[in-house]
Structure 1
Amino acid sequence: MKRVRITIRPRDLDLPLAYEDATRNEDQFVSVRVVNWNITAPTAAFLLHVRGDLERFETLLERDPDVEEHELLSIADDECYCFVAGVGTTDARELWENFKRGSLMTVPPAEWNPDGSYTFTVVGRDEDIQTAVENVPAGASVDIDSVGGRRVAPDHVTDRLSDRQREAVRTAVELGHYEIPRRATTEDVARELECATSTAAEHLRKAEAKTLGTLFGE
């Protein structure tokens, strides 16, 4: 069995309007993690953990023709759990069904990303994972963020980082990049990683964003 962290980039897929509006809006007004789901026919159900402008998010759900039922369960003024059920679009159902094949199990939580992509962990036999990756609906692409690891689910902040991002941060810490005063520049980190400075900077920025987002989003 293998554990793989995957990011789906829908691009030209026809997805539910609420997802499109929440993830592809210029002002990122809400963050969403999918805590659990039940993909059945004809209706699929999802339990979301939502932070941000909840009133605006609920308006999106009310306007989405693919959402048949929803309920917000308040945690705080800007945080809630949200139950959502609906048939979904044809493309969305094809994407969901693709990762139910054979031995595959998707492991919560899954994340709605600001760029419209969708990140989750899948566990299963190598051949089933490979087949699922190769058979995502036309108009979507797949990034393999990480393979294997000590845990099935990313239940620690560092487990949400890709292998390369962890390596970049570990190197930066060892070189003194985060010390005050700073003892190493991004160029120093890049030299140690044997990559371009822009690449090292991108790894560090993404790692920092994931780390802070996880710490304050939990």
Structure 2
Amino acid sequence: MRYVKVSLMPTDGDIDPVGEEIEADPSLTRESILHFNRLNDGTAVLLTQLRGSRERLEAIFEDCEEILSYNVSSVRDGLQAYVHTEPTEAGAALFDLTEEHEFVVDTPIEYGGDGFQVAIIGKEETVRRAIDDVPDSIRLELEQLSDYDPELRELSSLLTDRQQEILNTASDLGYYEVPRRATHQDIADELDVSTTTVGEHLRKIEARMLSEIAH
């Protein structure tokens, strides 16, 4: 089994019918898609994680004709929005891929840059066919390709969302490479937190994961 992480960037529109409005609003930040599903009638349901103004998010949903219903909840790390919607062209194309090819999408799907990062798990030939079938309207960049290791995935599930965010950022910036390419300050600047917060979280992350490995 292979584990593949790619960045997908729609060249026209967005996978979320209100994605462009949210990106343009300084009071809101999209973080991830926690769950998604296409229903028998062709509509879709999404559970997304965001940060920012609940009132602005609800106002954007109200103004969008493609949003059939929604519910926004305040959670510890920001906002979660359950949305029943008509899928966009880019969103429908991605639903087609998940239904036509035998692979598993490893959620959450993280937003970043001009698109989002999605990881899939499946047989190598299946993953290759799915990548080949990504439509021209979506630009694809390969971020990671490796054998799937379920034990490592289980370890990462032990972390809180905040710890996972800091760990992912540290890894992306090269903190764990040899020689090290990033410092606590680099990670703090990327996440807009203090170096003390970064150091405390990394110590807890490393202690938790090493404890599990030792057992």
The answer to whether TM tops 0.5 is yes
Q: Is 1:3 the equivalent of 2:3?
A: yes
Provide Cα deviations, 1:76-127, integer angstroms capped at 9, x if missing partner: 6x822211011212332112221333321111111222x3301121111112
Identical amino acids, percent of aligned pairs: 16
The normalised TM-score by structure 1 is 0.68
Q: Gaps (5+ residues) in structure 1?
A: 181-203
Task: Look up the SS of the partner of 2:102 in the other structure.
Answer: coil
The normalised TM-score by structure 2 is 0.69
Task: Look up the SS of the partner of 2:175 in the other structure.
Answer: helix
Aligned to 1:74: 74
Task: Look up the SS of the partner of 1:170 in the other structure.
Answer: coil
Aligned to 1:138: 136
Q: Is 1:39 the equivalent of 2:41?
A: no
Provide Cα deviations, 1:147-192, integer angstroms capped at 9, x if missing partner: 22643486463763697x46x32347x5697489xxxxxxxxxxxx
Could you tell me how far apart the structure 2 residues matched to 1:74 and 1:58 are? 12
Q: What is the aligned length?
A: 184
Q: CA, structure 1 residues 179+10, in 2 after alignment: closer, same or farther (shift >3 Å)?
A: closer
Task: Look up the SS of the partner of 1:99 in the other structure.
Answer: helix
1:169 counterpart (168, 175, 178)? 175
Aligned to 2:106: 107
Q: Gaps (5+ residues) in structure 2?
A: 202-215
Q: Is 1:160 the equivalent of 2:168?
A: yes
Q: In the TM superposition, what is the alpha-carbon distance from 1:141 to its structure 2 partner?
A: 1.0
Aligned to 2:117: 119
Aligned to 2:212: none
Work out whether residues 16 and 87 of structure 2, in 8 Å CA contact, stay in contact via their aligned partners in 1. Answer: yes
Aligned to 2:190: 209
Q: Indicate the larger mover: 96-105 or 26-35.
A: 26-35
Work out whether residues 105 and 119 of structure 2, in 8 Å CA contact, stay in contact via their aligned partners in 1. Answer: yes
Q: CA RMSD in A?
A: 3.5
Q: CA, structure 1 residues 145+116, in 2 after alignment: closer, same or farther (shift >3 Å)?
A: same
Could you tell me how far apart the structure 2 residues matched to 1:90 and 1:63 are? 19
Q: CA, structure 1 residues 106+28, in 2 after alignment: closer, same or farther (shift >3 Å)?
A: farther
